[in-house]
Amino acid sequence: MNNLRLSGKFNLIFLTAFLVCIIFSGLALSSILNRNTESQTVAKAQIMLQTMDSVRNYTSTQVNPELAPRIEKEEEFLPQTVPGYSAREVFEHFRSKKEYAEFFYKEATINPTNLRDKADEFETELVKHFRDDANAKELTGFRPYASGDLFYIARPITVTMESCLRCHSTPEVAPKSMLATYGKENGFGWKLNEIVGAQIISVPFIETINSSRQILLFVMLAVCIMFSITILFLNLFLKQTVIKPINQMAQVAHDISVGKMDTEFQQTSHDEIGVLANAFNRMKLSLSMAMDMLNNQS
């Protein structure tokens, strides 16, 4: 450090400070962005789940009462009366847009009426978790998917009403039209208060992560550019106000030391360098007076 020039020392300190700042601010920003990404994803999933619940609610309070009589009379079952069906259909429509293709909604059921609702291995584990822990009202987490992780929110589906058992207990009591459409094999044997499945919404996590990486990169780049410009200006300033005047003073002092008494220290400013130049000029004056006195005596 002692062997370095003034500008070298100055730049070394400045670069060290810059590196420390950039590392700490980068870490802080990335952790804030990560947390932000996570909360955005959670919020997105919660809104979708609430929307699906509203669709289910609309179906059971407004559509079902209108169509229920037809289920008994007609040969073909009307799945439009089933909340789970309408939620799934609405969601499939939503997913048909390319940017939402990786959003998923499923009423994953261990023994479903419609086999498209059959719980896979992962979903079965979630249902088991709900069955084992009666207090668990919601599970969240990540699930690997081809294009990256999916964030999911899962809630238990419980048979809360006696009326459900009409169609989900035994084929004997189920509407004929339903048996004609779905058969007698699946979706029966459910019990009151049993947890039969899990309502699961999954949203992609990767997209939001990418956008926060872009923000991080952009901010870091902007900070680097600003620091570089600052270093450049400070170097110019240092050269102009400190290094150049000091070099000039050194040259003048050298000239005086070899006897060129007609040169003067230039005072170009009123800062510490200027004060120093002034002091040197006074010293030069005393020196030449002392030398004159010596010369006169001899």
Residue 196 CA to residue 82 CA, distance in Å, equals 16
Question: Using CB under 6 A, which of 2, 96, 135, 163 touches ligand HEC?
Answer: 163
Residues 206-245 contacting ligand HEC, CB under 6 A: none
Contact yes or no for 233/51 (Cβ under 8 A): no
Neighbours of 21 (CB within 10 A): 12
Residue nearest to ligand HEC (CB): 164
Residue 28 CA to residue 86 CA, distance in Å, equals 44
Position 85 contacts ligand HEC (CB under 6 A): yes
Alpha-carbon dihedral angle through residues 230, 14, 19, 29, given to the nearest 10 degrees? -50
Contact yes or no for 105/96 (Cβ under 8 A): no
Residue 244 CA to residue 210 CA, distance in Å, equals 49
Task: Tell me whether residue 117 or residue 123 sits nearer to ligand HEC (CB atom).
Answer: 117
Select from 32-40, 76-84, 127-135, 244-252 the region that touches ligand HEC (CB under 6 A). 76-84
Position 159 contacts ligand HEC (CB under 6 A): yes
Select from 20-28, 81-89, 133-141, 253-261 the region that touches ligand HEC (CB under 6 A). 81-89
Position 82 contacts ligand HEC (CB under 6 A): yes
Task: Tell me whether residue 187 or residue 204 sits nearer to ligand HEC (CB atom).
Answer: 187
Contact yes or no for 142/205 (Cβ under 8 A): yes
Greatest CA separation for the chain: 140
Site track for ligand HEC across 175-194, x = CB under 6 A:
x--x---x----x-------
Q: Which residues bind ligand HEC (CB under 6 A)?
A: 71, 79, 82, 84-85, 107, 109, 112-114, 117, 157, 159, 161, 163-164, 166-168, 175, 178, 182, 187, 197
